[in-house]
Amino acid sequence: MPEKCFYDISNVKKQDKTEYPDFFAKFYDVLYDKIRTGTDRDYYMKKILECKGKILEVGVGTGRFFKEALEKGADIYGIDVSRSMIDVLRANIPEEHHNRVFVKDVKDMNLGVKFDLIIAPFRVFQHIADTDDQIAALNNIYNHLNKDCYFIFDVFVPNLNILLNDSVDAPVFEGEYEPGKSLKVAIDSRADIINQEMDVTWKLEWNEEGMKISNEWPTRIRYYFRYELENLLRLSKLRLVRVFGDFNEGPLTNESADFVLVCKNDPLKI
Give me the least distance between CB of 158 and ligand SAM, in Å please.
17
Residue type present at position 52: K
- Pick 48 or 128: Cβ nearer ligand SAM: 128
Contact map string, positions 84 to 103, toward ligand SAM, x by CB under 6 A: -x------------------
- Pick 188 or 266: Cβ nearer ligand SAM: 188
Residue in 51, 69, 79, 149 binding ligand SAM, rule: CB under 6 A = 79
Contact map string, positions 3 to 22, toward ligand SAM, x by CB under 6 A: ---------------x-x--
Give me the least distance between CB of 101 and ligand SAM, in Å please.
11
Q: Are 207 and 181 in contact (CB under 8 A)?
A: yes
Contact map string, positions 196 to 225, toward ligand SAM, x by CB under 6 A: ------------------------------
- Pick 222 or 264: Cβ nearer ligand SAM: 222
**61 is a site residue for ligand SAM (CB under 6 A):** yes
Give me the least distance between CB of 177 and ligand SAM, in Å please.
16
Three-state secondary structure of the chain: CCHHHCCCCCCCCCCCCCCCCHHHHHHHHHHHHHHCHHHHHHHHHHHHHHCCCEEEEECCCCCCCHHHHHHCCCEEEEEECCHHHHHHHHHHCCHHHHHHEEECCCCCCCCCCCEEEEEECCCHHHHCCCHHHHHHHHHHHHHCEEEEEEEEEEEECCCHHHHHCCEEEEEEEEEEEECCEEEEEEEEEEEEHHHCEEEEEEEEEEEECCEEEEEEEEEEEECCCHHHHHHHHHHCCCEEEEEECCCCCCCCCCCCCEEEEEEECCCCCC
Among 6-14, 54-62, 188-196, 213-221, which window interacts with ligand SAM (CB under 6 A)? 54-62
**30 is a site residue for ligand SAM (CB under 6 A):** no
- In terms of DSSP bridges, do strands 75-80 and 101-103 run parallel, antiparallel, or are they unpaired? parallel
**32 is a site residue for ligand SAM (CB under 6 A):** yes
- CB neighbourhood size of 252 (10 A): 16
Residue in 89, 105, 129, 203 binding ligand SAM, rule: CB under 6 A = 105
Residue in 70, 82, 118, 153 binding ligand SAM, rule: CB under 6 A = 82
Given the rule CB under 6 A, which residues bind ligand SAM? 18, 20, 32, 58-61, 64, 79-82, 85, 105-107, 121-124, 127-128
